[in-house]
Amino acid sequence: MPVAPAHSLEALIQALRRLPGVGAKSAARMAYHLLQRDRDGALQLSQALVQAVDHMRHCERCHTFTEAPICAICQNPQRDATRLCVVETPADQAAMERTGAFAGLYFVLMGRISPLDGIGPHDLGLKKLLDRASDGVVQEVILATNFTAEGEMTAHVMAQALKARGLRATRLARGVPVGSELEYVDLGTIAHALAERR
């Protein structure tokens, strides 16, 4: 049975509200814009979403998004396999890449420890990270989680687990403002923090 037009509009608004930082008014404004002024853009957006959902997967080595079983960064023989940078999200990884200051490999947690949300170390693949870092090639694990309370807790738990295995763990320097998220920090600050890591 076809959906009535008003229900289709409301469904679109509710779908847009699922995006981070988008409230009811912003979602309605976007929906009206797409339907009134940019129907071609709306179709392009819907096709791109379907394509991404159907074809994107997690890299088998680092967990970032990719269309292949192993992402291009993990496959690149020019990358420094002795350094492994741990980030919370693919967006954080992209921010690190845009600095041009890091030539190693990554491990993407796809989240952070958050007891209030029921997310613990095992939910983030800590065992897989420890196994990867213990491969005999990795010499340094750079903990580049965000400087939020959850990011700090995540870095602390990982650092303790890595040190218990005799692995060297460093943390981004405090050049990145406390409470910030990497994807929104300017590139110069990220590059400086990476260079001054401890």
- Show me where the domains of the chain are located: 8-55, 81-171
Terminal alpha carbon distance of the chain: 61
HSE (side-chain half, CA atoms, 13 Å) at 130? 16
Element (H, E) at 6: helix 5-16
Percent of the chain topping pLDDT 90: 72
* Cα radius of gyration rounded to whole Å, the chain: 20
Query: What is the pLDDT at residue 140?
Result: 95
What backbone torsions phi and psi does residue 170 show, to the nearest 5 degrees? Answer: -120, 165
Query: What is the pLDDT at residue 186?
Result: 82
Query: What is the pLDDT at residue 179?
Result: 83
Residue with more model confidence, 122 or 106: 106
Out of 3.40.1360.10, 1.10.10.10, 3.40.50.300, 3.40.630.30, select the CATH number for domain 81-171. Answer: 3.40.1360.10
Query: What is the pLDDT at residue 5?
Result: 52
pLDDT in tens, 149-172: 899 999 999 999 999 999 999 998
- The residue count for the chain: 198
Task: Please state the CATH superfamily assignment of the domain spanning residues 8-55 in this structure.
Answer: RecR Domain 1 (1.10.8.420)
Q: d(Cα 134, Cα 128) in Å, to the nearest integer?
A: 10
Q: d(Cα 130, Cα 126) in Å, to the nearest integer?
A: 6
What band does 2 get if pLDDT is binned at 50, 70 and 90?
Answer: low
* pTM recorded for the entire structure: 0.77
Residue 6 has pLDDT above 70, yes or no: no
Ramachandran class of 125: left when φ > 0, alpha when ψ lies in -120 to 50, beta otherwise? left
Q: Average pLDDT of the chain?
A: 90
Residue 48 has pLDDT above 90, yes or no: yes
pLDDT in tens, 7-16: 899 999 999 9
Q: 196 and 175 in contact (C-beta within 8 Å)?
A: yes
Query: What is the pLDDT at residue 55?
Result: 95
Residue 133 has pLDDT above 60, yes or no: yes
Residue 1 has pLDDT above 70, yes or no: no
